[in-house]
Structure 1
Amino acid sequence: MRKNFIILALLIAISQQSFTFIDQTNFYKQLEPLTDFYSETGYVGVNDLENGNNQFFYHLFLKEGISKLSDVKKDDNFILWLNGGPGCASLMHIFQNVGPYHAYKKGDKDYSVKKGLNTWNKVAHVIFIDQPFEVGLSYSNPHRNVGSSDLAGLYLVEFFRIFFQQRPQFKQTKFYVFGVSYGGHYVPAVGAALAKSNLEMNFQGVAIGNGWTDAFLQYQSYAPMLYSLGIFNEQKKTFTENQMAKAQADVLNGQYLKSTFDGFAGIFYILTKFTGQISPYDYQDYLNEGFGEDLFTEFINQHRKQFGAPDDLIYQPCNPEVEKNFEVDISVTQKTNVEFLLNQGYKVMIYQGSRDIICNTPSINYVLNQLEWKDIYEWKKQTKYSFKAKREDFDVEETAGTIKKYKNFYYATIYNAGHMAPNNLPIASLKMVTHFLNDDDIWN
């Protein structure tokens, strides 16, 4: 980490940065008249001596009802959203209840958006960044191969150094880093890098949803979890236990690449072989159901020129070449950065959709119970409380999940949700985010 920081600092210190943006407010108002907030897209160039043109794409949405940048207030909440993969674009979550819209097909090869009812810009300004380079609408020329979460975090520090220079009204907002899936790696790395930086900002903390954080600890969850659900029989359980034990041994021996193949790739192979069409992201779904990628992919590509993307850049939700760059990083822990943030007093929330397989609830508990945090024993003593929320199609509140909180550490479980909890239960997810941002002890 220290070596990466020194190298990156030297490269960037003698390079040129760039910032371009396009006001998208009227564009969205034409598509969806209910739009009542400012939005913009842009590119931030974080260039170094090795690569002359590294461009991060971002999409910013102000909180509902705020139509001008000059109306951003000091104590507003400001969320950075990061997707996982590794190699998947954050931009897709604009259309999955984190961002303000849903994409739909309006006509032949014509796609539009409608406003979501329970989106996170009800309670915060939200910025989506496609990262690292070569993901989504971000690019580099020549290609900059980022292959570790720590290095990705340092590049995002430089992104915000430039962004805050151009958008100084955000410096004093309450800034949080949120992410999902491989965000369990990205978010702690970015959070720790921001906390250690000299940026003038009001960094508050992080939140990780269904995160991949520590391969060694999480590998051991699959066999007992799938056996308890009745998906595995005794033979399949034993086979999986043996395979995951190999992956854990690889980590202990420092063979991280081998561990990724034995464990991370191995569990996807096992799930396909032993469970047929059950989705690794929700054991009540099937592999072909997906997250609506076709709709938002078509919308983004139809309007990518409007967003300011180069003519020859085609948006794709995930880039397998970037995932390949992270094959070692997948099995390297980010638990230490979670511990650093907790021990420094930053707010940390771990939240979990209960139906996920790949980043399942037992796997997260293995990580949480091993955290080296000064208050971990007191946190373990705390009672889990249930909280209630409505579903979008029903007017009756029901138990939506549980929350356990002690000091700056929150752990929330959302029932009847998979890997992408805001997709499955948007009202409960928004309620969770609201209480976290407000430091609420009572969620009902």
Structure 2
Amino acid sequence: MLLYSKVRPLFAIAAMARVGGGVQNLQALTSTPHDLKLLSNDAFAVLIHPALPRHSVRIKKSDFCDSTVTAYTGYIDIEARHLFFYFFESRSEPDEDDVIFWTNGGPGGSSSSGLLMELGPCNIVNSSSTEHNPYGWNDKANIFFIDQPIGVGFSYADYGEMVSTTEEAAVDIAAFVAIFFEHFRKFTGKSFHMAGESFGGRYLPLFAAAILDQNSRLIEYGIPPVNLTSVMIGNGLTNYLGMLQSYYDMKCTPASLPPVESISACVRMKQALPRCYKTMKEACFDVLDSIGCEASLAFCESELGYVPAGLNPYDLSKKCEGTLMDTLCYPITRDIVAYLNTPDIRALLGTDPTPENYSSVNFELNGRFMSHLDHIGVRCPPLREWNVDGAVAGLTRSAGPLTFATIYGAGHMVPHDMPKESLELVNRWIAQEPL
């Protein structure tokens, strides 16, 4: 993980100007600081800064998702590219509380899924309604949800432009963060935490590095640097080589659940492990031989990475509801898509006419990104239990600025499966309290 003097990353791993949608006006272009309360529900304000001439931010108020707090939506505009975001103020003390950035993984997964079925201020009920989420992470923090990279969710590009690497995406995210904190001074200097899950293990280290690298340029312009305080990665893709080998332990031993594979299948997996490790290390990690790496990935996934028929790959303790390509094994994802495609909701959010139809996952983008792998190794002391309300919630260990934590009973989407425990984890982390 990135070990910076001002950053203490957290691994939270489960155990187990063209405006559409009814917004017809733009407020005056400005580079002066704003009071968020002065923003309109009916028009975007456009924020620019001379230090970042290619980037601007459109932002407006929105009565979306949580009536107990002030919410905002908008776009990060990078010339022909447009990233959509949601921002919710804290339910506690928004002027004093920390700021959290959230991204879903994939790559290609919309952060609206995290917003509406995991850790957002509201949960989807059906295709036409939401309900208050008492375990939303804006309990004691202000929080962003960003559809990134370009092509995910409501984010899009003109003229066929695209983003194909995390390094490219990191530049845009860093610029957005700088513009936001410079314009809305009540958040300037506040502790900033970057969080995400799954492919977030690839995104977040690079996003954090881009923000820290950018801080030196901001100082040259006389702009306060972003106070990046920590990185939180939930069940992250961090070492693909090592993770593939762990598939055998997950499916064929009682490491987390009773074995889910047959003895014959497990014997075949065990025999394939050495060859898989060797070919992937040589083609994907020692050097990046695209053809050889793709062949190795195909072999390893077919021998090790498949999930037994009918099981949910995000939580092997459950059956898959629907099909993976249609519902990601959670039928509620179809309700999210239908809800966000409702004309009234798109008008409320102020989304542009593009994309014509919102989708929760961009599989074409996923294919582009999966050829760019990232890996990391971490050593930590022995595990110990941590508790919530007197009950054991999972295991944890720390080494220097790194903390690793598990949550019992959770699958891949930890805030969805164990909302109370995940919120307690986050609240303790941002308060710098021990687990």
Scaled to the shorter chain, the TM-score interval is 0.7 to 0.9
Find the counterpart in structure 2 of residue 310 from structure 1.
Answer: 352
Higher deviation after alignment, 267-276 or 129-138? 267-276
Report the AA paired with residue 421 of structure 1.
V
Q: Given the alignment, which residue of 55, 67, 72 partners 2:95? A: 72
Query: How many angstroms apart in 1 are the aligned matches of 2:103 and 2:292?
Result: 25
Which residue, out of 28, 37, 62, partners 2:69?
Answer: 37
Q: Which residue of 2 aligns with 1:60?
A: 87
1:139 positional shift = 1.0
* AA aligned opposite 1:72: D
1:332 paired residue number: 374
After superposition, the Cα gap between the structure-2 partners of 1:237 and 1:310, relative to the gap in structure 1 and judged at 3 Å, is same
- C-alpha displacement of 1:44: 1.8
Q: CA deviation at 1:279?
A: 2.3
Structure 1 residue 178: Cα displacement? 0.4
How many angstroms apart in 2 are the aligned matches of 1:102 and 1:421?
15
Aligned equivalents of 1:14 and 1:61: distance in 2?
25
1:46 matches 2:69: no
Contact 1:247–1:258 under 8 Å retained in 2: no
Q: 1:86 aligns with which of 107, 122, 126?
A: 107
Q: Distance in 1 between matches of 2:321 and 2:166?
A: 29
Tell me which protein shows more helix as a share of its residues. Answer: 1
CA distance in 1, matches of 2:431, 2:92: 19
Q: Counterpart amino acid of 2:58?
A: T
> Does the aligned pair in 2 maintain the 1:97–1:118 contact within 8 Å?
no
Write out per-residue CA displacement over residues 136-191 of structure 1, whole angstroms, 9 at most, x where no aligned residue.
Answer: 11111023221221221111111122222332322211101001000000010101
SS in 1 for 2:145: strand
Q: d(CA) in 2 for partners of 1:401 and 1:14?
A: 43
Structure 1 residue 274, shift from structure 2 partner: 6.5
How far did residue 275 of structure 1 move?
1.7
Judged with a 3 Å threshold, the aligned counterparts in structure 2 of structure 1 residues 440 and 272 are, in CA distance, closer, same or farther, namely closer
The offset of 1:270, in angstroms, is: 4.2
- Aligned partner letter, 1:114: E
1:202 aligned onto 2:223: no
Alignment of 1:81-230 (within 5 A): 81-105=102-126, 111-198=128-215, 199=218, 200-229=225-254, 230=259
Name 2:31's counterpart in structure 1: none
Tell me the CA shift for residue 434 of structure 1. 1.3
Q: Secondary structure at the match of 1:250?
A: helix
CA contact (8 A) 2:240 2:374 kept: yes
Cα pair distance change 1:226/1:78, threshold 3 Å: same
1:301 aligns with 2:324: no
Query: Helix, strand or coil for the counterpart of 1:402?
Result: strand
Matched pairs, number: 360
Q: Secondary structure at the match of 1:233?
A: helix
Residue type at the aligned position of 1:142: Y
Preserved contact between residue 227 and residue 237 of structure 1 (Cα < 8 Å): no
The answer on whether the counterparts of 1:100 and 1:116 sit within 8 Å (CA) in structure 2 is yes
- After TM superposition, the structure 1 stretch with the greater mean CA deviation from structure 2, 149-158 or 77-86, is 149-158
* Structure 1 counterpart of 2:78, one-letter code: V
Residue 227 (structure 1) shift: 2.2
Instruction: Please list the CA deviations of residues 363-421 of structure 1 after superposition, one character each: whole Å capped at 9, or x if unmatched.
Output: xxxx323xxxxxxxxxx3x443212236xxxxxx5321012123321110111111111
RMSD, aligned α-carbons: 2.4
Q: Deviations over 1:29-79 (max 9, x none)?
A: 6xxxxx3111010112122xxxxx21111100111145xxxx523xx2110
The structure 2 residue matched to 1:19, chosen from 57, 63, 66, is 57
**CA 235–309 in structure 1, closer or farther in 2 if over 3 Å, else same:** same
Match of 2:383 in 1: 384
Cα shift readout 1:299-333 (whole Å, capped 9, x = no counterpart): 2111123211122422111111211221321x233
Look up the SS of the partner of 1:275 in the other structure.
Answer: coil
**Percentage of matched positions with identical amino acids:** 25
Equivalences for residues 284-299 of structure 1 within 5 A: 284-288=317-321, 290-291=329-330, 292-299=332-339
AA of the residue aligned to 1:317: S
| Structure 1: distance between partners of 2:354 and 2:403 | 44
User: Does the 8 Å CA contact 1:187/1:208 hold for their aligned counterparts?
Assistant: yes
The alignment partner of 1:368 has SS state of coil
Aligned partners of 1:201 and 1:190: how far apart in 2? Answer: 12
Question: Conserved in 2, the CA contact under 8 Å of 1:384 and 1:403?
Answer: yes
Distance 1:16 1:158, change over 3 A: same
Structure 1 residue 256: Cα displacement: 5.2
CA distance in 1 between counterparts of 2:294 and 2:347 reads 39
Match of 2:314 in 1: 281
Q: Which runs of 5+ in 1 are unaligned?
A: 1-11, 30-34, 48-52, 336-366, 370-379, 391-396
* Deviates most, 197-206 or 413-422: 197-206
Q: CA deviation at 1:422?
A: 0.9
1: CA distance between counterparts of 2:86 and 2:112? 7
Distance 1:124 1:410 in 2: 20
Asked whether the equivalents of residues 220 and 245 of structure 1 are also in contact (C-alpha less than 8 Å), the reply is: no
What TM-score, normalized by structure 1, do the two folds share?
0.75
